[in-house]
Structure formats: structure tokens, C-alpha cells
Amino acid sequence: MMYDPTGHLLLTPVDKEAPARVRRLRGLGIGQRPEPAFDAFAERLAELTGAPYSMVNFIDVERQFFAGLHTPEGACFGAEPSADAGAPAAGGGEACRYMARDHGYCPHVVVRRKALVLEDVCEYPRFAGNPVVDEIGIRSYLGAPLIDRTGIVLGTVCVVDVEPRRWGRAGLDTIKSMAAELVEQIHRREDGGI
């Protein structure tokens, strides 16, 4: 849990479900390595929304991992939070797929268990102080939870932009339907399907 020392706002929500999520992700064999199918999904999501960045994000106790990632050519979105990781790699490398749990808005989506639309993060004091605003330049966010058949929120699908975006009802409907589609893919995979 992280508080803003100036405004005493809770910036990162308490996530009591994290240990169960980690067990479920390990059981599914996802959330620890990049997967081409998730990268393809993120690319399709970016195309549908017109967003420059999109992610399939799985969240554990301390960090987020983008198992699916689409960025503009050569851009790095995340960075390995451990001190021994060195400088973040460019071009969507492995280090670009990690982000500290207190960065970004996906942890809010996971705890809320519902979609979050931030057309301009600077309009919301609770979200404007997030490190991704200053460190990466994020100005808008659209994300939905991946709630699996056990009721556990595995992570999120999300898109972000460095400019304010009017996602509108169409954007919200798109992100929610894409989240449902990805959960179905994960279930088919677990059941032995493709």
C-alpha cells in the first residue's frame, strides 16, 4: 500500500486476493513469461482502440508482468523493478514487460473488479499522482479485469496513451468484450483446447 505524502491519498489499493491469484496463475502456467498469443492479442487490442500501447497484464504480490505487450516501434513501457536488472531494454525486451505494483492503474482495476476509464488522468487527483504520469507520460487509460471461472481476477487487459483520449462508451464496450474474449481463450487452454 502506498500513500501520497502530500495529500494522504491511497495510491495503490490493498490487494487481499494476490496470494490466491499467484497460485491460480502458476496453476494455469501464465504470467511469468511473454507469450506470442498474448502479444498478438495486445496488438489486436491496440488496433481496435487506436491506442499506441496495450497490454495483457498479470499482477502478483509485488509487480506487474505484461505477458502480452504492444508498443510503438522501439518503445519500452515498463522496467524491471529489481535493482540488479540494470537499465530497461528498448524495443519491448523482457525488462520492458515488468512494472512495480504501485505504478499504473491496473492494480485498481484488479481490486475494483470492474473496468476503469480515465480519459485524462490529470482530471483525477487520486490517479494524477501515479508515477506513470511523470516517468512514462501516461495521460489516459482504459482497462478491464480478467475474471476467471474461479472468481479470481487474474489481471487486466488495458490500453494507454500519452495524450488525453475520449474513449467513450464504444471504448468501454470494446475493452470489456476483449477481456471476456481473453478469459475464454485462457479457459480453452486450461481445458486442453487451442
pLDDT at 130 (0 to 100): 86
Has residue 65 been placed in a domain?
A: yes
Has residue 43 been placed in a domain?
A: yes
pLDDT tens per residue, range 14-58: 899 999 999 999 999 999 999 999 999 999 999 999 999 999 999
Q: Which domain holds residue 141?
A: 2-188
Percentage helix, strand, coil for the chain under 3-state DSSP, each rounded to 5: 40, 20, 40
Per-residue pLDDT band for 84 (boundaries 50, 70, 90) equals: very low
CA distance 46 to 9: 31
CATH number of the domain enclosing 39? 3.30.450.40
Has residue 38 been placed in a domain?
A: yes
In the chain, how many domains are there? 1
pTM: 0.85
Has residue 106 been placed in a domain?
A: yes
CA distance 155 to 99: 13
Has residue 122 been placed in a domain?
A: yes
16 closest CA partner among 110, 105, 156: 110
Has residue 181 been placed in a domain?
A: yes
Has residue 194 been placed in a domain?
A: no
pLDDT tens per residue, range 134-156: 888 899 999 999 999 999 999 99
Has residue 84 been placed in a domain?
A: yes
Continuous H helices in the chain? 18-28, 36-49, 106-112, 125-128, 131-135, 168-190
